[in-house]
Every structure is written in C-alpha cells, then in structure tokens.
C-alpha cells in the first residue's frame, strides 16, 4: 500500500473505480489508469476536498437520521411502558380497595354471627 503525503491527490478511476494516488502537481492532467488502462482525468485538489467534505456531510446526515430513528423507537417504547405501568397502578388500586371492602365485610360478618352451638 502506498503512503500518501498532504500534497497527494487520492481519486478513483472514472471507468473501473480503481483507487489512484498522484502528486498534486498532476491536477487536471489526463492519465491512463494503472488498472484498466483507460484515460482518466486527475481532479483538482479543491474538487477532491469538496468531494471529501460532501461525503462527510452526507455521512453525518445519515448518522443524524439513524439517531433520530432510534430516538423515535425508544420514545415509543417508553410511552408503551408508561401506559402499561399506569394500567397496573390502577389495577393495584382496585385490588387494594377490594381487599379493604372484603376485610370490612368479614369483620362485620364475624361480629354478627351467633356463637355456634356445640
């Protein structure tokens, strides 16, 4: 693998997409691709930089969309569980009220029953 310096231009062949590296002095020159042999023009370093910047922006936008999608999914789960929790709390309240009522009835019934004859 070739190392690149800050003055090198990394670009791809327009025909076969082979990765090519040339010195920045070759910007705008048409060269034959080392892989396919077809002529391809070396972009200027500003075009390469703009392409890299556009790729970075595109990647960041994709990541933001993915993040938002995951946030929406998590928010949906939280809402579902909040609703379920509220239902359980209402059910528990109903059961507690029923328990008090039944205990009261039991106490009243136990206090009114005559002693059983033996």
**What distances in angstroms separate CA 110 from CA 46, 95, 99, 101, one per listed residue?**
94, 22, 16, 14
| pLDDT value of position 102 | 97
pLDDT in tens, 27-60: 889 999 999 999 999 888 666 666 677 888 889 9
CA 77 to chain centre: 15
| pLDDT value of position 100 | 97
| pLDDT value of position 1 | 44
The dihedral through the CA atoms of 35, 37, 39, 42 has a sign that is positive
DSSP lists the bridge partners of residue 48 as: none
| Closest alpha carbon to 40 in 16, 63, 8, 61 | 16
């Amino acid at each position: 693998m070739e190392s690149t310096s800050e003055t090198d231009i990394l670009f791809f062949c327009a025909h076969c997409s082979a990765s090519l590296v040339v010195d920045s002095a070759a910007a705008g020159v048409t060269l034959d691709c080392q892989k396919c042999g077809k002529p391809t023009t070396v972009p200027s370093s500003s075009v390469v930089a703009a392409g890299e910047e556009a790729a970075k922006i595109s990647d960041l936008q994709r990541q933001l969309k993915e993040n938002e999608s995951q946030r929406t999914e998590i928010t949906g789960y939280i809402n579902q569980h909040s609703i379920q929790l509220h239902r359980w709390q209402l059910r528990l309240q109903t059961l507690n009220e029923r328990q008090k009522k039944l205990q009261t009835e039991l106490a009243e019934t136990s206090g009114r029953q005559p002693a059983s004859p033996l």
